[in-house]
Chain A
Amino acid sequence: QSVLTQPPSASGTPGQRVSISCSGSSSNIGKNTVNWYQQLPGTAPKLLIYSNNQRPSGVPDRFSGSKSGTSASLAISGLQSEDEADYYCAAWDDSLNGVVFGGGTKLTVL
């Protein structure tokens, strides 16, 4: 059971906008910033969004992040087939004194 809660799956058609939620608590998302990772099949995870809504260099602006209270969201607009991957949220947890991950959301592009 992951500390951060994500839906196990999400889907959309090319060109659509999809959103993935990440729910936490006052000790993690409520107090600290959220980071998002994209893991393409058979590869290492890649940092997609950091500090709630910042994109590392090279990440398309189709990807955006937001945070409100103890929840966060990742939005992907203009969905493309190459976006099919697993997505994970993560944050520092002050109670556990460590990094906690969501269980991951498998995004399927129909």
Chain B
Amino acid sequence: QLQLQESGPGLVRPSETLSLTCTVSGGSISTSNYYWGWIRQPPGKGLEWIGTFYYNGNTYYNPSLKSRITISVDTSKNQFSLKLNSVTAADTAVYYCARDGAFPGRLGYWGQGTLVTVSS
């Protein structure tokens, strides 16, 4: 059974960099036919797509966040990561990692999510 688990600091200072890692078990990130991505949800609000990548290097980012985000992958550890720099209180959210489909948008497996609070 495929499982995803987010990890990283729960508190980040304003203007600093948010860093999260998603560890995948029960399946390989390098498997073809699947994209992998990040989604976030501010408290009490809706879902926002952050970005997604394919194991061969294709990466898509939310245009509104593109200048601040980097998604990278470590296939040796079966992990992928999110870095979001210059954070503000507006970046406070539950961050989810997920396995997407053969084309982005069909997010079939989700991690449980991790709350990241931006505050001094």
A97 to B107, CA, bound (A): 16
Tell me whether A50 and B101 are in contact (CB under 8 A): yes
Contact check, A91 vs B60: say whether CB atoms are below 8 A apart: no
| Contact yes or no, B49 A47, CB < 8 A | no
Q: Which of A2, A35, A46 contacts B105 (CB 8 A)?
A: A35
Q: Which of A88, A90, A97 contacts B63 (CB 8 A)?
A: A97
When the two chains form their complex, are residues A104 and B46 in contact, meaning their CB atoms are under 8 A apart? yes
Say whether B104 contacts A92, CB under 8 Å: yes
Residue B61 at the A interface, CB < 8 A? yes
Q: Which residue from B105, B110, B112 sits with its C-beta under 8 Å from A90?
A: B105
Given the complex, which residues of A lie within 8 Å of B46, measured CB to CB?
2, 86, 88, 101-104
Residue pairs across A and B with Cβ atoms less than 8 A apart, 8 shown, are A33-B105, A37-B107, A45-B39, A45-B107, A50-B101, A90-B105, A92-B104, A99-B105
Task: Determine if A35 and B103 form an interchain contact, defined as CB atoms under 8 angstroms apart.
Answer: no
Total contacts A to B, CB within 8 angstroms? 65
A91:B105 contact, CB within 8 angstroms: yes
Query: When chains A and B are docked, how far (Å) is the Cα of A104 from the Cα of B62?
Result: 19
Partner of A88, one of B47, B51, B61: B47
In the complex formed, the residue of B with least CB distance to A6 is B46
A99 near B108 (CB under 8 angstroms)? no
User: Contacts A101-B49, A103-B46 known; A47 to B63 CB distance under 8 Å?
Assistant: no
Complexed CA–CA distance, A103 and B101 (Å): 22
The answer to whether residues A104 and B47 also contact, given A44-B96, A44-B111 and a CB cut-off of 8 A, is yes
Q: Which residues of B have CB within 8 Å of A91?
A: 105
- Select which of A2, A45, A51, A101 is within 8 A of B110 by beta carbon: A45
B110 touches A44 (CB 8 A): yes
Cβ-defined contact, A101 with B48, below 8 A:
yes
